[in-house]
Structure 1
Amino acid sequence: MIRPAPSTRDTERSQALVRLVLSSIATLYVMLLYLTGYLVEAQLRSILIYNAAFLVASFALIAWIVRKPGVKPVRRLLAMVHDYAAITFAMIIGGEAMLPVYGALLWVTVGNGMRYGTRYLTLATGLALLSIGVMALLSPYLWQNPFVPLTLLVTTFMVPAYAHVLLTRTRQASEQAQTASLAKSRLLAQASHDLRQPIHSISLFTACLRDARLGDEERRMVDNIDRSLLSVEQLFRSILDVYTLDNGQVVPSAEVLAMDEVLAGLVRQNTEAARWAGVTIKVRPSRCHVRCDPALLGTLLQNVLSNALKYAPGKALLIGCRRRDGGLAIEIHDRGPGIDAQDLPHLFDEFYRVRRSRDHDVEGVGLGLSIVKRIADMLGLGVRIRSRPGHGTSVAIEGLPLSRADQYRPAQNEGSNRRLLTGLRVLLIEDDRDVLLATATLLQKWGCEVHSATSALDTTADFDLVITDFDLGRSMSGADCIDYLNRLHGRRVPAIVITGHDVRKAQQALNDTQVPVLAKPVRPAELRSMLLALKLDLQAQSA
């Protein structure tokens, strides 16, 4: 993971603060020389007077940096001249006893190069060589010992030259790493979009089949499709979760959640997976409410539960909550084979999997708990795993902040959602024929009147709201379609945007926080809830 580089303001400020620290150390050194008889009073007085002026100028530089941060070449040049002048003056006045101050000269030279780049390193080296030349001309000690300034000159040239080579190689390696990272990002972005489309359409088609009247054999076939799709979707989501979390594309948005509903939804989502694994999930009821991001918490718990279902098939599984240290902990206990002590420290490592002789058919690539750790860190939660070989494993998500029950706003149930969507006129804009057909079919099963189009320019139908894909080819984007429809109808059109690329990119293009953006593959329940919310808003406006 490439961390962002520190800001210019922090770099210059840290340079200025280190200058003050070195100045203080140099002052103590001068006092020590005076007390031990290596400097006379006249030398001490001259150095201390110059040092006082040096400190005043140094504080002025810090104030300048704080008030006007950014890249200021003139300020950097003045700071270097300021440093070299002080070092030159001290070494000329102090003579032999002040030779150790040459270390500060090297620090200034190499430090400027390391902080600001090779151009500043070259400039600093030139000023350093000029400084030593002035010392050689004006210092009696250096006149009497010509090999000393020669040594200083050679060192002042060789050390920055080597630093220049290192900086150049480091910059080249960094550029290659950034190029590779950008290429990887583009590949993942394109692969993400191309993979989301079929998964999205299959999910919608399967939801349509579930609403149809099927026989037992047909329902078993739909179950098998669901099971295969779930495996693909979980792997796909794991890879994308790692990518989006590592690139800072996720911003938590907390709301009050009822733990009973969170756990019930988790069990509902995994009913089929638990049946396939032969696992009975038991839930201890909880009346607690917490404040957390529902999507991130759901992803975290889903990954923990998926692990338990994979590695403890045919066993009972218990989910419950416990108050601990002023917060709430969610615990998932299984009765699987357990984990050996030597494996526990590595469970959060990417691609690490605990392998046993009969685990060859366990699906996954070892990203689940890595994602759990990333999300927990983002939410400020702790993850604790305890296990006893032969007895099972317990995973506790700790530190969920408790909230009051009166701050909770329950969602509508699914059956109510379906009835309330009857008669809703939807303009569906999608350039992928499979996704268009799947989405239109599902909306019609919910009772919506659907008008389909591949572009906003292709329809004149009346509608209540718009569902549009963001990525509609080169001619128009979803944001362009919404803008066109707003201008055409002379009002703000209610809309939902669905994208297979970066959600933030779509949000920035829309520049409208009231337009929800959903990431593919969209879960049917998520789309249905969003449609219901928009229809209720429309009814409230017309009332």
Structure 2
Amino acid sequence: MEKNSELNQATLRLIVSACAVLYITILASVEPDDAATYMPIIIYSVAFIIASVFLRIRIKRKPGHFFWRHLFTMLHDYSAIAFAMVLGGEGALPIYAALLWVTLGNGVRFGSRYLALATVIALSTLVLIFWLNPFWRTQPYMFLMLIVTTIVVPAYAHVLLKRTRIASEEAITANLEKSRFLAQASHDLRQPIHSIGLFTACLRDARLGLEELRLVDNIDRSLHTVSQLFRSILDIYTLDHGKLVPQTDTVHLGTLLQDIVEQNTEAARWAGVELRLRASPYWVNVNPGLLTTMVQNLLSNALKYAPGRPVLIGVRRQGAGLAVVIYDKGRGIAAEHLPEVFKEFYRVRHVRDKDVEGLGLGLSIVKRISRLLNVDIHIHSRVGQGTKVAISGLEQAIPKVMARKVTTAHSRLNGLRVCLVEDDTNVLMATSTLLEKWGCQVQTHNDGEGLTSNCDIIIADFDLGTKVSGSECIAAIREQRGWEVPALVITGHQVERIRESLQSLQISVLAKPVRPPELRTVLLELVKTEGQR
């Protein structure tokens, strides 16, 4: 930040000095009898600008904090001001503004210590001007006013800087505390939501009666709502703090949309919505996780506000790019609401809308992500006819070799040896039970230290305590086996940061809470990838 401040100051120095040269030139033209007086000032100012250009180049090439360079730039500025005010006399009085600007600028940009140093040099410069120019000696009260101003204004600026610094430190401390609290609360809340979701999936596959299945369905539906709200809050926090740096990949758009539809099958059934997906052969360069979040949020809105109506998802060409479009036949949005729907917590209220879950964050998240991905989001809606939402500007990519689609999930997972490492007892039990219902042979461990296994796939929590992490556990098993065993990390921490750190290790990452369809999809992908080697 400081090096940018110094460079900005160097740029502003050139602008101000150019304005000063222009001002002196105008004075010389208006008062031709005194032109000879102003000419040395113009020559010196031009030389000053040339020196300032070289100084800016130096600052740009070698940024950083250098006290002697700061001191030199201050003396450079004040000497030019003194030269102009000594030779210019009364006509150069407006240049005093530059002296005040240099003093305050050093304080605001570099802190109170530099403000004090600049003030001392400024006062010395004024004393020098008073001593060298007869005009100023004939105007003692005016000169006293300049002295007082040069003391009082920086002193007041120092008070403001001190208050600002204290307020800033308090805000930073509070923000760090909030971040730590949210990170811990996030992890602690993810665990039970994650385990409840897995236990519910196990119950659904059990031999239950119709009434029991209805109760499980209601539990799963409520859990799905809680999970979506939880993810929305974390997404807003993550996006607002700039913690997402999108990494693009070549993605088959049809497969990505098909996965989203499959993961929302239960939610669509609860809403009485028929989800229709038009097949898409296109590939795009995009961050798949962020695009999935956008489509997921838009689809959730369609399920909430168009219950009992069909929803269509398709892909259309738009110029050189592609657009993902979601159509619903809900009640629609009135024109006066459309400019507001991307604001946080803004919800279009209708009669008897109190049962519609949500905080009004979905479209706000979509808008933020669209800026990250450099795509556009458009909504067209008519009351009583429905809504069309388009994510446009997706860059089409050269297709990869398409892998054969897995058709039977359970048969591909049957007999799969899974090493499951998780330090939370409930999550370990829930995940193990679900995997066994899918036909896997599960080896469970609540500690990754000194672990050995003959597994086909490793599933590990990222945070396994203070001794070993999930990635270290995976690396140890791979070294023991002598080959790159397919691995999946499931985490309750910052998923994008962890995904980026594990990208080179060929480890898949999922964020808790994980819904069973997501887990099964990733496992099938890992099995498929390993089968192609």
Distance 1:465 1:51 in 2: 73
Are the counterparts in 2 of residues 456 and 484 from structure 1 also a CA contact under 8 Å?
A: no
Match of 2:228 among 227, 231, 234: 234
The worse-fitting range, judged by mean Cα deviation, of 360-369 and 496-505 is 496-505
Q: Does 1:173 align with 2:167?
A: yes
Tell me which amino acid in the other structure corresponds to 1:473.
Answer: G
Tell me which amino acid in the other structure corresponds to 2:156.
Answer: Y
Please report the TM-score for the alignment, with normalisation by the length of structure 2: 0.91
Distance 2:323 2:249 in 1: 17
Are the counterparts in 2 of residues 290 and 402 from structure 1 also a CA contact under 8 Å?
A: yes
Match of 1:502 among 473, 494, 499: 494
CA gap of 1:441–1:307, structure 2 versus 1, over 3 A, is same
The worse-fitting range, judged by mean Cα deviation, of 53-62 and 354-363 is 53-62
Are the counterparts in 1 of residues 448 and 464 from structure 2 also a CA contact under 8 Å?
A: no
Which residue pairs with 1:445 in the alignment? 437
Question: Can you list the C-alpha shifts for 1:492-528, whole angstroms capped at 9, x where unaligned?
Answer: 6654322211235546876953233322122334434
1:176-215 aligned at under 5 Å gives the runs 176-215=170-209
Q: Does 1:298 align with 2:315?
A: no
Tell me which amino acid in the other structure corresponds to 1:469.
Answer: D
Are the counterparts in 1 of residues 239 and 368 from structure 2 also a CA contact under 8 Å?
A: yes
Which residue pairs with 2:366 in the alignment? 372
CA gap of 1:206–1:8, structure 2 versus 1, over 3 A, is same
How far does residue 229 in structure 1 lie from its aligned partner after superposition? 1.4
The worse-fitting range, judged by mean Cα deviation, of 73-82 and 307-316 is 307-316
Size of the aligned set, in residue pairs, is: 533
Match of 2:12 among 18, 28, 33: 18
1:373-412 aligned at under 5 Å gives the runs 373-404=367-398, 406-407=399-400, 409-410=402-403, 412=405
Are the counterparts in 2 of residues 327 and 401 from structure 1 also a CA contact under 8 Å?
A: yes
Question: Can you list the C-alpha shifts for 1:309-362, whole angstroms capped at 9, x where unaligned?
Answer: 212223333333332233222322333232233322211111111122311111
Which residue pairs with 2:417 in the alignment? 425
Which residue pairs with 1:265 in the alignment? 259
Are the counterparts in 2 of residues 193 and 500 from structure 1 also a CA contact under 8 Å?
A: yes
Are the counterparts in 1 of residues 263 and 518 from structure 2 also a CA contact under 8 Å?
A: no
1:40-79 aligned at under 5 Å gives the runs 40-79=34-73
Question: Can you list the C-alpha shifts for 1:211-252, whole angstroms capped at 9, x where unaligned?
Answer: 445544443333222211111111111111111222223232
Distance 1:361 1:188 in 2: 28
Distance 1:490 1:387 in 2: 57
3-state SS of paired residue (2:357): coil
Are the counterparts in 1 of residues 21 and 46 from structure 2 also a CA contact under 8 Å?
A: no
Are the counterparts in 2 of residues 118 and 164 from structure 1 also a CA contact under 8 Å?
A: yes
Tell me which amino acid in the other structure corresponds to 2:444.
Answer: S
CA gap of 1:411–1:470, structure 2 versus 1, over 3 A, is farther
Match of 2:465 among 450, 473, 480: 473
Q: Does 1:161 align with 2:164?
A: no
Match of 2:271 among 274, 277, 291: 277
1:319-330 aligned at under 5 Å gives the runs 319-330=313-324
Are the counterparts in 1 of residues 263 and 517 from structure 2 also a CA contact under 8 Å?
A: no
Gaps of 5+ in 2: none
CA gap of 1:77–1:510, structure 2 versus 1, over 3 A, is same
How far does residue 475 in structure 1 lie from its aligned partner after superposition? 3.6
CA gap of 1:536–1:320, structure 2 versus 1, over 3 A, is closer
3-state SS of paired residue (1:400): strand
Distance 2:396 2:529 in 1: 30
Match of 1:318 among 300, 312, 315: 312
Tell me which amino acid in the other structure corresponds to 2:345.
Answer: F
3-state SS of paired residue (1:456): coil
Are the counterparts in 2 of residues 257 and 408 from structure 1 also a CA contact under 8 Å?
A: no
Which residue pairs with 1:4 in the alignment? none
Distance 1:293 1:484 in 2: 30
The worse-fitting range, judged by mean Cα deviation, of 385-394 and 224-233 is 385-394
Question: What is the percentage of aligned positions where both structures have the same residue?
Answer: 54
CA gap of 1:424–1:356, structure 2 versus 1, over 3 A, is closer
Tell me which amino acid in the other structure corresponds to 2:383.
Answer: P
How far does residue 370 in structure 1 lie from its aligned partner after superposition? 0.5
Tell me which amino acid in the other structure corresponds to 1:187.
Answer: F
Question: Can you list the C-alpha shifts for 1:402-455, whole angstroms capped at 9, x where unaligned?
Answer: 334x4363464252x543334433322211111111112222233332221221
CA gap of 1:321–1:461, structure 2 versus 1, over 3 A, is closer
Distance 2:395 2:459 in 1: 36
Are the counterparts in 2 of residues 479 and 506 from structure 1 also a CA contact under 8 Å?
A: no
Question: Can you list the C-alpha shifts for 1:379-401, whole angstroms capped at 9, x where unaligned?
Answer: 11111122223333222222222
3-state SS of paired residue (1:395): strand
Please report the TM-score for the alignment, with normalisation by the length of structure 1: 0.90
Are the counterparts in 2 of residues 455 and 481 from structure 1 also a CA contact under 8 Å?
A: no
Tell me which amino acid in the other structure corresponds to 1:321.
Answer: V
Which residue pairs with 1:129 in the alignment? 123
Tell me which amino acid in the other structure corresponds to 2:429.
Answer: L
CA gap of 1:395–1:483, structure 2 versus 1, over 3 A, is closer
Are the counterparts in 2 of residues 333 and 393 from structure 1 also a CA contact under 8 Å?
A: yes
The worse-fitting range, judged by mean Cα deviation, of 159-168 and 49-58 is 49-58
Which residue pairs with 1:142 in the alignment? 136
Are the counterparts in 1 of residues 327 and 386 from structure 2 also a CA contact under 8 Å?
A: yes
Q: Does 1:86 align with 2:80?
A: yes
Distance 2:199 2:328 in 1: 34
Match of 1:454 among 446, 454, 472: 446
Are the counterparts in 2 of residues 256 and 408 from structure 1 also a CA contact under 8 Å?
A: no
The worse-fitting range, judged by mean Cα deviation, of 297-306 and 212-221 is 212-221
Which residue pairs with 1:3 in the alignment? none
1:501-540 aligned at under 5 Å gives the runs 501-503=493-495, 506=498, 513-535=505-527
3-state SS of paired residue (2:345): coil
CA gap of 1:120–1:411, structure 2 versus 1, over 3 A, is farther
